[in-house]
Structure 1
Amino acid sequence: MLSKILANRLMPHLPNLVHHSQSGFLKGRLISENFLYAQHLLHHATTQNFPLAIFKSDIHKAFDTISWSFISEVLQAMALPLTFINWITTCALQGSSQVVVNGLAGKKLTLHRGVRQGDSLSPYLFILAMDFLARWLLKLQLNGNLLLPFPQTLPCLFYADDALFFFKPCIGQAQMLKIIFTLFHSLSGLKVNPSKSQLVFLNTPSDVTEACQQILGCIEHFFPITYLGLPLSNKKLRKNDYTTLIERFKNTLNTWTSSLLSFAGRLVLINSCLSSLPVYFMSVFQLPRWVFDILNSIRRTYLWQGRSTNRRLVTVAWDKVCSPKSIGGLGVLDLYTFNLSLLAKWFWKWHSSDQSCWRELLVNLHGNSPTPPLSSPLSKPFQQLRPIMSTTTYFNITSGAFVLLWHQNWGLGILSSNFPILFSYCLSPDIIVYDFLQHLTAPFELFRPSLTSSLLAQQQLLQLVHLTQQILSQPTSQTHDQIHFKIAPNQLTSAALYNFLKTFPKIPSDFRLIWELNVPPRVTTFSWLLLHDKLPTITNLQKKGMILVNRCCLCKSQAETILHLFRFCPYSLTTRTITSFLSNCNIPNLDMYDALTSTELTSKQKELLAISCYYIWKERCSRTFSDANNQPRSTAMLILEDWRLLHPD
């Protein structure tokens, strides 16, 4: 309890205490940001043909070997209150253990190192200790003792004990890194394990790589390497680099050995497990179309036929399945759209986060701009996201230095659409608002000379200047350009953007009402197929080209259609009548859609109708495949049993 209280008190202050090269266990910092930083630095070194060495370290039993005295000294160096440090020392940095042999406890062994696994305070103490190493490396870099290919970049990245070190590939720098590791081991007890560490080089002579390997005691690896669970490469990912993700999909399915799950059960597993597997990967990479095709094929096959090796009829298009429930879909995650939504958060961080190490790297390498440079690996998805972000964002400007004049909304809408004739005369389509404000008194300099021959274009320019002056005349307390999202009041979330992209500009459907019923999931998914007229009735199977005798197996007199089977079939009518009498809840003779949208029926009546249709269909399938022949009263009793579980009163 005390440890939890101390952790809660320490947690809000950690972002100000810990350098932003550390992303583990800190609110607001993303593990994927560290990977993006490494990816962009590697990409820049490749395009500029700079030599670069990367050392991915593995710390031997990190949580078990860190020195308590070292943690105490770090806490004191950070000027934390002495009373608070004493509480931490008493709670987390003291203890002993005993070895029990045949039920007899031995002597107490006084402990001097290691933080407790599962203790809420342990990860915070560990990252504070690792922050010492980060600050030390930054100081060595500032003093010129640690050399990097690009001066204004970080020498290291940390996610808890997962560390990545960048250095200029030469013997002197490898020796410096070795000395740092040795001294850090003597101070903290944390030792780098060379046998499990990885050393990679870029644009480096072979004699230098061999010397660095001998100094650091680590063999050379080659790109791509795995960093934070993702492939880090200096080139475009190959087809083999995506096989890990695809194999995870297949292996997850192999663990679901049961072939008896219903359609509803398989839908739950797809939404809760399968669809979430590629989310981390998609938060950094834009997956190729062929990967989406394979992943969708795996999900689609499992949804419709489960673990069965027999091919089954796919009755609803995958696009409809991936539509939100509010517009008639099943709400299965559309991976392509969600991939774009996940990448859009980097657009948010680019415009809103001053503490982002990824943004800081790009600004240091390429300078400030409204969007990441074209040389950035994220430039392609950002170009695809531009129309989406233009419609969902707006800026409150002060200087306009980070806002595109024509393609971003800064108070006048999207100018390229609102002033199309004037836009056709502009010299630079990607001009920023700041440059336009500098020419506000002489705006003709930003357009082609032929603008003077178009009266309408000149009128639009004068109107634009007038509206801009009105915006600038409004008082504001902000000190820099601020971005706002129309669909999320505080900040952009991937889920909010995804829902917007999947529903706009579509109109909500009455199909959403089936998900509001208090019925089992198997009944809900059945009702969804029923409303779409996608149940495999004989009529629907004949439409698919199957040659079958079209006769209702319940009454053996009429063709088997959705309308006949659930509304006019004598067996169904009798079953409904018995159910209504025994439940004291009248089931109207309406089809499912009319019943759902009716304002005169109670929710209990709608739920009883849905359950009735489900068991009528179940009886139809039993007669077709098992030669069963239950009477209407037996089916009615099954309906009532399910319904009374939901409404015991």
Structure 2
Amino acid sequence: MEERLRKRLSLWKRQYLSKGGCLTLLKSTLSSLPTYFLSIFVIPKKVCTRLEKILRDFLWGSGALENKPHLVSWKVICTAKKDGGLGIRNLAIFNKALLGKWLWRFANENESLWKQIISRDDTRVKFWKDLWCDNQSLEEAFPTLFNLSVNKDSWVAKAWEENEVGGSWAPRFNRHLNDWQVGEVESLLGKLLPMTIRRGVNYSLRWKENKNGTFSVKSFYSSLSRGIKTPFPARTIWTPWVPIRASFFGWEAAWSRLLTTDRLKRFGWSIPNRCFLCKNEEETIDHLLLFCEETRMLWLLILSLFGVQWVMHSSVKKNLLG
């Protein structure tokens, strides 16, 4: 998989593509990855890290011979466009979403042969010794009652007694309990209270992330990658009639990640910080695109052509949000 990704995203291709073209190629490459293997095996963290490094280097133009800055974090890039990202899949989360389909199938496909082979019903689960009602066996949780039980290897189904109302739990002990042991039995029954056995009843699950109640990898991926949402002008930036490379530039500007002089100085460049247009103020993203004298004249000309009066906000992002 790694070799295939390196071949598809060779750095020499990066030289002939804009960032918008790189983004398109990245998404098409990720969509052609062997999802069959990702849906069966857990991808190792080291492999995932190496694959993501290939993707990052291709997007920003880094490689073995040159080290270009990665302007936006990969975590942000992997979020949806409407939330400020580029909509690139996070491989680790996508792997979990694909594997989650097996959990859904296990819960719903009762007649499948593979489920019958690996599953165990309540008649083959030991009441005291197996992990079936919590992350601790009843033997470990109630050692005194376990020692007093009639059959220490009894099955769960044997401890359940059905009646007209439905049924109840009735674990059996080899002698009458002392007063101080009654409280422990009450704790045991309280723990078993939410657990019931209904024979001959078929259960079905409903997936809340989809309106039709069925599971989908896309909805599971969205729920796993869901984070804190912040306002972002995605609709203004990613419009169909705007070239992708122009939208990519607007996306970088909205995140204040363009390589202006002030940001170059942060990366260790020793250069004077002066706007190359007006030669008066320090060059920042907001100054260069909004408040520079030359830029302001251009904005006034464009807005006057459309008969629009506009007061500039303090940042590019706020202007795009309107």
Q: Flag the 1:250–1:424 CA change in 2: closer, same or farther, 3 A.
A: same
For residue 346 of structure 1, give the secondary structure of its aligned residue in structure 2.
Answer: helix
Partners of 1:351 and 1:343 in 2: CA distance: 14
2:207 counterpart residue number = 485
- What is the one-letter code of the residue matched to 1:288? P
Q: Which of 340, 358, 369 is the aligned partner of 2:96? A: 340
| Structure 1 residue aligned with 2:296 | 573
Selected match of 1:508 from 229, 250, 254: 229
> After the TM superposition, which residues 209-608 of structure 1 pair with which residues of structure 2 at under 5 Å, given as runs?
245-254=1-10, 257=13, 259-305=15-61, 310-354=66-110, 356-360=112-116, 363=117, 368=120, 405-406=133-134, 425=141, 437=160, 440-442=168-170, 458=186, 461-462=189-190, 465=193, 479-488=201-210, 489-503=212-226, 506-511=227-232, 512-514=234-236, 517=239, 519-590=242-313, 591-598=315-322
For the Cα contact (< 8 Å) 2:79–2:87, is it kept in 1? yes
**Secondary structure at the counterpart of residue 294 of structure 2:** helix
Structure-1 separation of matches of 2:157 and 2:37: 36
Quote how far apart the aligned CAs of 1:537 are.
1.3
Partner of 2:150: none
How far does residue 509 in structure 1 lie from its aligned partner after superposition? Answer: 2.1
- Partner Cα separation in structure 2 for residue 554 and residue 570 of structure 1: 8
Stretches of structure 1 lacking an aligned partner (at least 5 in a row): 1-244, 371-402, 408-415, 417-421, 599-649
1:581 Cα offset (Å): 1.7
Aligned length, in residue pairs: 289
Q: Aligned-pair distance for 1:569? A: 0.6
Deviation at 1:514, TM superposition (A): 4.3
Q: Name whichever of 314-323 and 248-257 sits farther off.
A: 248-257
Name whichever structure is richer in strand by fraction. Answer: 1
Q: Is the 8 A contact 2:79 2:88 kept in 1?
A: yes
Tell me the TM-score normalized by structure 1: 0.39
**Partners in 1 of 2:38 and 2:157 — Cα distance?**
34
CA distance in structure 1 between the partners assigned to 2:300 and 2:59 by the alignment? 34
Once the 2 structures are TM-superposed, how far is the Cα of residue 583 of structure 1 from its aligned partner? 3.2
Residues 303 and 585 from structure 1, CA distance in 2 versus in 1: closer, same or farther, beyond 3 angstroms? same
User: Residues 515-568 of structure 1, C-alpha deviation per residue, up to 9 Å, x if partnerless?
Assistant: 564533223222222222211111112122222211111111111112211221
Q: Is the helix fraction higher in 1 or 2?
A: 1
Superposed CA offset, 1:72-119 (max 9, x none): xxxxxxxxxxxxxxxxxxxxxxxxxxxxxxxxxxxxxxxxxxxxxxxx
- 1:342 Cα deviation (Å)? 0.7
CA RMSD between the two structures: 3.9
Q: Which has the higher contact order (CA 8 A, sep 6+)?
A: 2
Structure 1's 352 and 556: CA in aligned 2 closer, same or farther, altered over 3 A?
Answer: same
The offset of 1:255, in angstroms, is 10
Identity of aligned residues (%): 28
Contact 1:266 1:306 in 2 (8 A): no
Unaligned ranges ≥5, structure 2: 123-130, 147-154, 162-166
Query: In the superposition, relative to structure 1, how do residues 258 and 533 fare at CA in structure 2: closer, same or farther (>3 Å)?
Result: closer
Distance in structure 1 (CA, Å) of the matches to 2:277 and 2:80: 35
